[in-house]
Amino acid sequence: MKADVIILAAGQGTRMKSDLPKVLHRIAGQPMLQHVVDTARDLAPDRIIVVHGHGGDQVRAAVEGKDLVWVEQDRQLGTGHAVEQALPRVAADRVLVLYGDVPLIRSQTLERLLLACDEADLCVLTAELADPRGYGRIVRKGDEIECIVEEKDASPEIRSIREVNTGIMAMHSEGLRRWIAKLDNDNAQGEFYLTDCVALAREEGARVRAIPAKDPVEIQGVNDRKQLAMLEREWQRRVADELMTNGTTLMDPVRLDVRGKLFCGRDCEIDVNCVFEGVVVLGDGVKVGPNCIIRNSTLDAGSLVEAHSIIEDSRVGKACRIGPFARLRPGSLIEDGARIGNFVEVKNSRIGQGSKVNHLSYIGDTEMGREVNIGAGTITCNYDGANKHRTVIGDRAFVGSDTQLVAPVKVGADATIGAGSTITRDAPEGELTLSRSRQTTVKGWQRPRKEG
Ligand code: UD1
Ligand code: CA
């Protein structure tokens, strides 16, 4: 689409009561402004110009993109003034104005608005609200809009109009330049209102159209934290709907949080209160138990994650069992059929096919072969206070419970380590290695008795 997009994002957001610029408050883990930028990108516009003010450096640093043109509005003198700051950077014939604090707007709606400019000079996205308080009201004469009146400037009669200005508009840039040049701030708020362009356009006899939004939620703005939470829930509802439509079972769609992208194969099941962050891929038939957190990870077909497990930057193969209460830290590779049980932490390690680490262990910086059995309470001592060292465990090794493997160290294939050992030197292949003092019994020993 041949158009430039201007995103207004300079407002202070006083009602957020926050040190963070309003547009950086997050919906589904992403700054609101990022959502708006992403939606704008879907339209493939010529350029995206972001008008920032308060906390400009912070805003620029938080929102990605070399394709963005940043313009500063040093004082917030109104929406018309904000657009004026962006105008020198506008080159396309059409302009679309978006708000950085209206994060759920859909690209299909915006396409409709831009397309309406084929037949009109200025198109305003409007909405019919049960409670129009706070919004600018649309004053119509048939299909044409005569003007937009801000709540603070409105008579009781105008206040009773329920069709409101969503703030989102599309127009021909030539007209916009003329109208903006004529704006004044002679109104209740002493601001330069972008909305006054409507009356100015009408004076010229230009065609102004109201394009009604179909979904009142997508045009909702965020002014306070209650509205932020409301839109967060709305976003999550959309994500849950889409997952279910595509064949994923959600035990309770209102108790799911996806802060990023979640891709599910066929017949996945997700229990309540799970959080997915970044990009998460679940293969066919993967089941995730309640209260799990999975971040930037891939789990292959048939794997099961039991309750209260946390998986981060890791890869889990097919038919594995993780948890309950397991923690896979970054760089864990759990190969097909392996098991990571309760209170087990794995970090930067490969757990080979069919190996089992079932209870209360820490496995860090380890290369583990296949069919290994790690007894309860085994710990790799990978850190000497200055450096990290690797532990290598061969195929089919059996490590007895409560063993410490002091890295760097190797346990050979088919080796057995006796329970309670502290292994500081390599344990040879196929042999039993143990390090513990011999058990003795003191014959006839008496327990002390309480005196007096
Ligand atoms: C504006 C509209 C109103 C509409 C409402 C929809 C005007 C005059 N009024 O009112 O008709 O119903 O939005 O939510 O346009 N901004 C700047 N610089 C400024 C002022 C605002 O960048 O100097 C940005 C804000 O960050 C925000 C947007 O413009 O993203 C709207 O500003 P806001 O103050 O919320 O406008 P409203 O008074 O709500
Ligand atoms: Ca607002």
- The answer to whether the beta carbons of residues 248 and 201 sit under 8 Å apart is no
Residues near ligand 1 with C-beta < 6 Å?
8-11, 51, 73, 76-79, 81-82, 99-101, 135-136, 148, 150, 164-167, 193-195, 221
For residue 191, report the phi and psi dihedrals to the nearest 5 degrees. -115, 160
- Residue-wise burial string across 103-113, b where 16 or more C-beta atoms lie within 10 A, e elsewhere: bbbbeebbebb
Closest CA to 280 of 308, 232, 252, 314: 314
Nearest CA to ligand 1 atom 30: 99
Whole-number Cα distances in Å, 58 to 25, 31, 55, 62, 64: 12, 12, 5, 6, 12
Q: Which of 76, 79, 147, 171 to mutate to test ligand 1, by most ligand atoms within 8 A of the CB atom?
A: 79
* Tens digit of pLDDT at every position of the chain (452 positions): 689 999 999 988 899 999 999 999 999 999 999 999 999 999 999 999 999 997 789 999 999 889 999 999 999 999 999 999 999 999 999 999 999 999 999 999 999 999 999 999 999 999 999 999 999 999 998 888 999 999 999 999 999 999 999 999 999 999 999 999 999 999 999 999 999 999 999 999 999 999 999 998 999 999 999 999 999 999 999 999 999 999 999 999 999 999 999 999 999 999 999 999 999 999 999 999 999 999 999 999 999 999 999 999 999 999 999 999 999 999 999 999 999 999 999 999 999 999 999 999 999 999 999 999 999 999 999 999 999 999 999 999 999 999 999 999 999 999 999 999 999 999 999 999 999 999 999 999 999 999 98
pTM for the model stands at 0.92
- Residue range(s) in the chain whose domain bears CATH number 2.160.10.10: 225-433
Q: What is the distance in A from the centroid of ligand 2 to the CA of 323?
A: 46
Q: What is the distance in A from the centroid of ligand 1 to the CA of 225?
A: 17
Torsion, Cα 17 21 27 31, to 10 degrees, reads -170
Extract long-range pairs of 419-426: CB within 8 Å, 24+ residues apart.
419/375
Q: What is the distance in A from the centroid of ligand 2 to the CA of 222?
A: 7
Give yes or no: 81 in active site: no
Q: What is the distance in A from the centroid of ligand 1 to the CA of 424?
A: 67
Q: Both tokens of residue 56?
A: 């400009």
Q: Which atom of ligand 1 is nearest to the CA of 13?
A: 26
**CB count, 10 Å around CB of 72?**
12
Q: What is the distance in A from the centroid of ligand 1 to the CA of 167?
A: 7
User: At a CB cut-off of 8 Å and minimum separation 6, what does 247 contact?
Assistant: 264, 266, 267, 268
SS3 338: coil
Nearest CA to ligand 1 atom 37: 135
Identify the CATH homologous superfamily for domain 225-433: Hexapeptide repeat proteins (2.160.10.10)
Tell me: domain 3-219, CATH 3.40.50.2000, correct?
Answer: no
Q: Which atom of ligand 1 is nearest to the CA of 223?
A: 35
Q: Both tokens of residue 264?
A: 């599910």
- Residue range(s) in the chain whose domain bears CATH number 3.90.550.10: 3-219
From the list 52, 172, 308, 359, the catalytic residue is: 359
Surrounding residues of ion ligand 2, Cβ less than 5 A: 221
Terminal CA-CA length for the chain:
96
Burial of 442 (0-12, 13-18, 19+ CB in 10 A): exposed
CA dist 319 and 331 (Å) reads: 19
The alpha helices in 87-183, defined as continuous H runs, are 107-116, 156-159, 173-182
- The answer to whether the beta carbons of residues 321 and 335 sit under 8 Å apart is no
Q: Kindly calculate the radius of gyration of the chain based on its CA atoms and give it in whole angstroms.
A: 31
